[in-house]
Amino acid sequence: MVLLGEIFPDFMADTQLGTIKLHEWLGDSWGILFSHPNDFTPVCTTELARVAKLMPEFRRLGVKVIALSCNSVESHRKWIKDIKSYGELTDEEFPYPIIEDQTRKFSTLLGMLDPAEVDSQTGLAMSARAVFIIDPNKKMRLSILYPATTGRNFDEIIRVIESLQLTEKYKVATPVDWKKGDDVMIDPSVSDSEAKASYNDIKTVMLPSGKTYLRIVPQPIDA
């Protein structure tokens, strides 16, 4: 199972858009890979439609999107008709690949099998609702596992990507519930004197400990 900061596994996988070698397909982009227990299931259908609608946002952020579901490419092709209809998606081609994983090869490799969710026909465990963010160096930067009955919040995934891209560029961290444009905090590794040299608008929050680790600044904007 891949851990945060480790290189995300590279593999060849069949999708409805052809065979993909993951690292080559990602190129220099950020990536998200999200998994599904089963084709033709209600929560998954809403999620795939929502991600298709968010594609302009993912493109703006330079993020490639790939899904996985524990069924065949043939099944994915039929399911995509339902997803397009549900999401009122008018483009002819579905905008991102869905990996086939009826053997659970990739779900096992990525530690995504959910023993609580078993396919009634095959008796095989199904993939959890996992989501991974992969950076341009192929390092895994986020992983979340959701239960099968809870749909994900892809606005949150975009928020994390925006935070990761910002904090890659600047020595800042983003506070609770941060949204793009909100104030940020100076990274604790930056000394007070370094911080003063870089920012002229620092609000240091006074705390009972007397420590000055909570230093708020406006979000840096690219020059």
Q: What does the per-residue mask of binding to ligand BEZ show for 148-187, with x meaning CB under 6 A?
A: xx--------------------------------------
Is 42 a residue that touches ligand BEZ (CB under 6 A)? Answer: yes
| CA separation for the pair 141, 42 (Å, rounded) | 28
For ligand BEZ, give the closer residue by CB, 107 or 174.
107
**Closest C-alpha to 33, from 18, 56, 13, 57:** 13
Binding-site size for ligand BEZ (CB under 6 A) equals 9
Half-sphere CA count of 40, side-chain side, radius 13 A: 9
CB of 127 to ligand BEZ, least distance (A): 10
x/- contact string, 114-153, with ligand BEZ (CB under 6 A)?
---x------------------------------xx----
CB of 21 to ligand BEZ, least distance (A): 28
Q: Which stretch binds ligand BEZ (CB under 6 A): 35-43, 53-61, 136-144, 174-182?
A: 35-43
Select from 162, 149, 80, 145 the least CA-distant residue to 117: 149
Tell the smallest beta-carbon distance from residue 216 to ligand BEZ (Å): 40
- What would you report as the CA-atom Rg of the chain, rounded to the nearest whole angstrom? 20
What are the two backbone dihedrals, phi and then psi, of residue 86, each rounded to the nearest 5 degrees? -60, -45
Residue 59, beta-bridge partner list? none
Kindly list the residues in this chain that would bind ligand BEZ in the complex (CB under 6 A).
37-38, 41-44, 117, 148-149
